[in-house]
Structure 1
Amino acid sequence: MPQPRLFLVYEPEKACLDRLMNQGYPRDRATEISSYLAQSTDLAPEFSKIWREASRRGIAFTPLDLDEAATGIAGSDPATTLVWTLTDGIAYFRGGTAPALARLAGLRTLGADDSLFALCQDKFRSGAVLSALGLPVPQTGLARDGRWLVEPPACKNGWFVKPNRLGAKIGIWPDSHCRDLSQALELSRRVFSHYRDEVVVQPYVAGRNVRASFLDVTGHADMSSLGVFLVESGADFQTMADSLALYGGTGAEARATGVYAEPELVPLAATQPAADGEIRRIASKLMNGLGLRDVFSIDLRVDTDDTVHLIEFEVCPGLPCFDFRAYCRAQWSMSLAEAMTETAARRLVG
């Protein structure tokens, strides 16, 4: 029997940057957009560690640039092959094609199916689905270049504006929390001018930022394995500049010069156990009702009265990011490389 093999498929930042520039984006805008793929940049130096950990578990590890994926997985044995997609995307990014390529080749995948790769990258559509499941998501308006497609509800606390199909805080600025709808429309013009994207406009919800992370290392983990942490950055919300200072090449530079410090992670259960329990219920419903599995993350806001607001979910969480590494250490007592390869081994070799 062939040796079990793990393919890790990712889209590099540079491939995205070059493609966007060929589409006419200025270099600075293309750089901002492609920074969403910084986890492929951040994880690449650790491929040798992942390879060693995989070898110890009897697995061959092969990282694959997305453009090489179709050829790289061709002819693989479905009984001994697992495909893990590191980076997602359906619009500005293309990683959402990887699980579809694996399905076309008859290979098993780790993570959600490709339909959720498309859904999570469209905040307006995903919000509608999450609302239909009865989950606590803010009502959402949609605007394109200064024109309402769907008007948002009234809100005494103002509104929050962000691009519809871009992640990693791209297009979120200090004034993204606005006080009137004319300002929201002006932000939609700015986003369209910079990124050619629509914006979602949601009632601003008070509270602190919470990240819930999940990796099913054992193959049968339940909600007790969900890591729920307050993300204490000292700011009400993270901006694009904050994100650029955390990840990829610009993040490494910022950390080296002391310009930016990683936010503090605090277990939510230590101070708000009721909210922690509610988040685990929400995550369970996302798994049972939406089909999340294996690996994902959820962004939420939690108020002082334990009210929980679900903001969005990710099928490709930033594995090499500080928060997911901390989760692997806290929940599984493993490094990222160990947790990734143990997760694969449980599917491939039992």
Structure 2
Amino acid sequence: MRVTVLTHLEKKGDTKYDVVVDQVAEALRSEKHTVKVLAVHGDVAALIEGIRAQRPGLVFNLVESFGRHFAGEIGVAGALQLLCVRHTGGGPGEYYLQQDKALTKEILAYHGVPFPNYAVFRHDSYPDTSGRLRMPLIVKPLRMDASIGIETDSLVRSATQMMKRIVAIHEKIKDAALVEEYIEGREFYVGVLGNRKPIALPPIEMDFSGLPAGMPRVLGRRAKWVKSSPEYKGTKSKIAEIPNETKLQLQRVALDAYRALRVRDYGRIDLRLTPAGEVYVIEVNASCYLEKSGEFATAAQAAGIRYGSLVNAIAKLALARFRRPY
């Protein structure tokens, strides 16, 4: 069938171009699909015209942003729905719930899924957290992903440090600030694949042992994107070496979060495991990063699912979901 790989990134040769676009396209072509790439960022007319011109049977949606609005991918999912185009990933409603971390936590609470205590500091609303949140705390933007706005000083140990970081997020990121209790312990990522009967992939652990002494064990912006930084050089992900009981516990919580947030086709749940064995959901990442060497594809490989099969399985899941939407 005709498949359009939809991306917000620039065309090949641009420094912003991501190899995941070609990797996904090649995987789809390996199953004899006719694949075209549509790169659109901030131009609604070009998005609509491009989809209509290519007339895809499926859109493989890799869009993570659109224009200057931080919630642009929500609008893209809505446009695909209005165009009656089948696509991977959730619709605008699901993306809206998953992007707002406070709403995410409220839904998790309803379903009994554990997460850290938190408070939201909006530009015009500062809640009283005295006696309710225990230090240390981590302060991050409410709606941003990809660790945007998470820096070394995001981990705070006093009210003064907390307020400075909140103001920085308000002024520089232009977002509300989410303040939550920092969970000491090990960090894991559990990929989930499927809809009606989702499966949890083997857990990936983030190894912080290479960080300089005293540096917070947090995967912030520099650890993800600044290759020359000690944060980037001092962190690495690996297949978790844990007892089977712990593995099953992490996978169970991940599946509960995945279902509660109505993640579609595939996603990744970020978790923390305390020394006492308690598991907390830190973040729910719908339509997570699909690059071959990334955590999700690595976990799939550990489960015996090669990259080409993984990408095509996601496409098949999306097609099946549109045949049976309820």
Could you state the TM-score of these two structures normalised by the residue count of structure 2?
0.80
Does the 8 A contact of 2:270 with 2:284 survive in 1?
Answer: yes
- 1:232/1:7 Cα in 2 relative to 1: closer, same or farther (>3 Å)? same
**Structure 1 range deviating more: 152-161 or 195-204:** 152-161
Q: Tell me the equivalent position of 2:239.
A: 266
- 1:322/1:76 Cα in 2 relative to 1: closer, same or farther (>3 Å)? closer
Structure 2 residue 150 is matched with structure 1 residue 172: yes
Q: Tell me the equivalent position of 1:35.
A: none
Deviation, structure 1 residue 233:
2.7
Matches within 5 A, 1:144-163: 144=122, 148-149=126-127, 151=129, 154-163=132-141
Aligned partner (choices 60, 77, 83) of residue 84 of structure 1:
60
- Within 2, Cα distance between the matches of 1:330 and 1:128? 33
Deviation, structure 1 residue 297:
0.7
Q: Tell me the equivalent position of 1:324.
A: 296
Gaps of 5+ in 1: 15-37, 246-250
- 1:65/1:208 Cα in 2 relative to 1: closer, same or farther (>3 Å)? same
Matches within 5 A, 1:212-291: 212-216=190-194, 222-223=198-199, 225-234=200-209, 235=211, 236-245=217-226, 251=227, 254=228, 260=233, 263-267=236-240, 270-291=241-262
- 1:56/1:161 Cα in 2 relative to 1: closer, same or farther (>3 Å)? closer
Equivalenced residue count is: 305
- 1:142/1:103 Cα in 2 relative to 1: closer, same or farther (>3 Å)? same
- 1:341/1:43 Cα in 2 relative to 1: closer, same or farther (>3 Å)? farther
Gaps of 5+ in 2: 212-216, 321-326
Structure 2 residue 312 is matched with structure 1 residue 341: yes
Does the 8 A contact of 1:50 with 1:61 survive in 2?
Answer: no
**Structure 1 range deviating more: 144-153 or 155-164:** 144-153
Counterpart secondary structure, 1:102: helix
Does the 8 A contact of 1:85 with 1:95 survive in 2?
Answer: no
Deviation, structure 1 residue 311:
0.9
**Structure 1 range deviating more: 145-154 or 68-77:** 145-154
Q: Tell me the equivalent position of 2:163.
A: 185
Aligned alpha-carbon RMSD (Å): 3.3
- Within 1, Cα distance between the matches of 2:164 and 2:123? 8
CA deviation digits over 1:292-331, x for unaligned, max 9? 2311111111112220010110112111162123123222
Does the 8 A contact of 1:297 with 1:317 survive in 2?
Answer: yes
Counterpart secondary structure, 1:61: strand
Q: Tell me the equivalent position of 2:323.
A: none
Structure 2 residue 9 is matched with structure 1 residue 12: yes
Deviation, structure 1 residue 160:
1.2
- Within 1, Cα distance between the matches of 2:298 and 2:175? 33
Deviation, structure 1 residue 180:
2.1
- 1:313/1:93 Cα in 2 relative to 1: closer, same or farther (>3 Å)? same
Structure 2 residue 283 is matched with structure 1 residue 307: no
Identify the structure with the greater helix proportion: 1
Does the 8 A contact of 2:5 with 2:60 survive in 1?
Answer: yes
Deviation, structure 1 residue 150:
6.2
Matches within 5 A, 1:7-86: 7-12=4-9, 41-43=17-19, 47=22, 49-66=23-40, 67=43, 68-74=46-52, 81-86=57-62
**Structure 1 range deviating more: 82-91 or 194-203:** 82-91
Could you state the TM-score of these two structures normalised by the residue count of structure 1?
0.75
**Structure 1 range deviating more: 287-296 or 184-193:** 287-296
